[in-house]
Amino acid sequence: MAAVCGLFCGACEHLGTKCRGCGHQEGKPFWTAMMNVESCPLYSCCVTKKHLEHCGLCSELPCETFLALRDPSLSDEEAEKALVARQNDLMKRKRIGTEQWIKEKQRTA
């Protein structure tokens, strides 16, 4: 339910239909096929390359890949807000742990 990028899969409209969650999909959520990439670049970097649980544990956050990867349906303003929210969520997740972070997200979803 906790994607490496800071998103909470439990709030995604595609969970259970197009996707089982980024972690369960091993970085290959439904949108990777639409973007013609084998896996999510953030998942590949974070989990496969750096062996980290999530981007909030990376000393390079926010990196170029994190800043560049955005939902194309969002306006520039919406994308910037989403980016800040993901960074904040990752920092909180780092501070309180993933299990507690998921519990909090489930209460507010």
- pLDDT tens readout for residues 6-53: 999 999 899 999 899 888 889 999 889 888 999 999 999 999 999 999
Domains of the chain by residue range: 9-108
Record the pTM. Answer: 0.90
Q: Is the pLDDT of residue 109 over 80?
A: no
3-state secondary structure the chain: CECCCCCEHHHCCCECCCECCCCCCCCCCCHHHHCCCCCCHHHHHHHHHCCCCCHHHCCCCCCHHHHHCCCCCCCHHHHHHHHHHHHHHHHHHHHHCHHHHHHHHHHHC
Residue 94 predicted with pLDDT over 90: yes
